[in-house]
Structure 1
């Protein structure tokens, strides 16, 4: 089982903690506050680009707590905690009026663990010896990543993570 402390150690200084946002603390779980203020969140390269952890949390529409963005989309992309549901959501808003948020994970702990597994999978997992070259065996890689993510929870079956696995399986990425 993956621990939060293991994740913090793996990412090291990349795990940024945030100054406390006291006006919303009563709407966050103890685990979420622990991750935001003690463990931290990393910036990383992932599906769709480079994801950047902000220096400060931002409250949006009194519902979303923005903690991250995507390089190249700083003004348009938001990764947030939905303070009503605890889900991790994103919004890509080029038009300036898009209030549609899409679910990434069921909670911040799951999201952090998914990022950890994904980053380690891409950087460290020595499976070419088992599966062969990625571009010839992308389906096997997709199955292995999905297997590892399913050990955390079923979020991989929904929206963004399911799309990642599907595109890996098809060889698009």
Structure 2
């Protein structure tokens, strides 16, 4: 089982902690507060672009706590904690009127474990000896990453992670 300390050690200085937002602390779980204020969240390159953590948390519509964005979409893209449900959601709002948030992970701990698993999987491709060349065996790679995600929880069956696995399986990425 992946621990938060193992993740913090793996990412090192890339794990960015945030200044405490006391006015919303009562809406956050203890695990979420631990991750935000003590463990941190890493910048990383992933499905859809380069994800960067903000310098400080932002409250949106008294419901969402924005912690990250995407490098080329920083003024339009928000990665947030839904303070009502604890879910991790995102919003891509190019036109300025899109208030629809989409599922990313069931909670911040799952999100961090998925990011860790994905990053480690991509950065430490020792698998070619086992699975063969990626471009000829992309379905095997997708199946292996999905297997690793399922060891955390079933978030991989919804939203962005499901799209990532599907596109890997099809050989698009």
TM-score when normalising by structure 2: 0.99
Give the match for residue 89 of structure 1.
89
CA offsets 1:88-140 (integer angstroms, 9 cap, x no match): 00000001010000000000000000000000000014100011110000000
Give the match for residue 101 of structure 2.
101
Give the match for residue 50 of structure 1.
50
Q: CA deviation at 1:159?
A: 1.3
TM-score when normalising by structure 1: 0.99
Give the match for residue 153 of structure 2.
153
User: How far apart in 1 are the matches of 2:115 and 2:158?
Assistant: 15
Unaligned runs of 5+ in 1: none
Give the match for residue 18 of structure 1.
18
Give secondary structure in 2 for the equivalent of 1:24.
helix
The correspondence of residues 63-74 of structure 1 with structure 2, limited to 5 A, is 63-74=63-74
Deviates more, 1:71-80 or 1:123-132: 123-132
Give the match for residue 164 of structure 1.
164
Unaligned runs of 5+ in 2: none
User: How far apart in 2 are the matches of 1:171 and 1:29?
Assistant: 38
Give secondary structure in 1 for the equivalent of 2:148.
helix
User: How far apart in 1 are the matches of 2:16 and 2:24?
Assistant: 19
Runs of 4+ in 1 over 4 A off after TM superposition: none
Give secondary structure in 2 for the equivalent of 1:72.
helix
User: How far apart in 2 are the matches of 1:115 and 1:92?
Assistant: 19
Aligned pairs, number: 173
